[in-house]
């Protein structure tokens, strides 16, 4: 576990960094659970709405959206594949992501490529730490 500015980042998963997406990926037997990381949960404020409106996705493609009182954004898929399950509990109460982002997964995908090689997916402790530190610095500039 890495903790930066009170935000926790478990090391039992990978993180998707493209375009500030801040998603985590947890590999299971034949699928990947995907959810928002602690940085996204903190920066967006209380999430009030989330939707997943596709049954298949390409890496980097919008598959839905989410919103809070101060933020509206697209939800991107970090990998290509077939969406096999959506967490209805989180769709009904998206604020669960704010309370515990690493239990509150959004969807499961059966990836086309089991290796998930992408320069936007990181898992190394130092890379995660550097990435979050840089994301925090971006906010401090504004």
pLDDT band for position 141 (cuts 50, 70, 90): low
Among 67, 47, 63, 45, residue whose Cα is nearest residue 55: 63
pLDDT value at 2 more than 90: yes
d(CA 128, CA 139): 17
pLDDT attached to residue 70: 82
This model's pTM is above 0.85:
yes
The proportion of the chain whose per-residue pLDDT surpasses 90, expressed as a percent, equals: 82
SS3 per residue for the chain? CEEECCEEECCCCEEECHHHCCEEEEECCCCEEEEECHHHHHHHCCEEEEEECCCEECCCCEEEEEEECCEEEEEECCCCEEEEEECHHHHHCCHHHHHCCCCCCCEEEEECCCCCCCCCEECCHHHHHHHHHHHHHHHHHC
pLDDT tens readout for residues 18-65: 988 999 999 999 999 999 999 999 989 999 999 999 999 999 999 999
Mind listing the domains of the chain with CATH numbers?
Answer: 2-113+121-141 (2.40.50.100)
Question: 88: exposed, middle or buried (C-beta count within 10 Å: 0-12, 13-18, 19+)?
Answer: exposed
């Amino acid at each position: 576990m890495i903790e930066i500015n009170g935000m926790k980042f478990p090391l039992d998963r990978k993180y998707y960094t493209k375009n500030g997406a801040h998603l985590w990926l947890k590999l299971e037997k034949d699928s990947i659970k995907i959810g928002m990381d602690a940085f996204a949960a903190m920066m967006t404020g209380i999430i009030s709405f989330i939707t997943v409106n596709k049954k298949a996705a390409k890496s980097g493609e919008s598959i839905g959206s989410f919103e809070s009182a101060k933020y509206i954004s697209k939800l991107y898929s970090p990998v290509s594949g077939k969406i096999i399950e959506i967490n209805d509990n989180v769709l009904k109460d998206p604020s669960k992501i704010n309370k515990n982002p690493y239990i509150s997964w959004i969807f499961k995908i059966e990836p086309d490529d089991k290796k998930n090689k992408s320069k936007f997916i990181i898992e190394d402790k130092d890379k995660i730490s550097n990435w979050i530190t840089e994301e925090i610095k971006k906010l401090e500039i504004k």
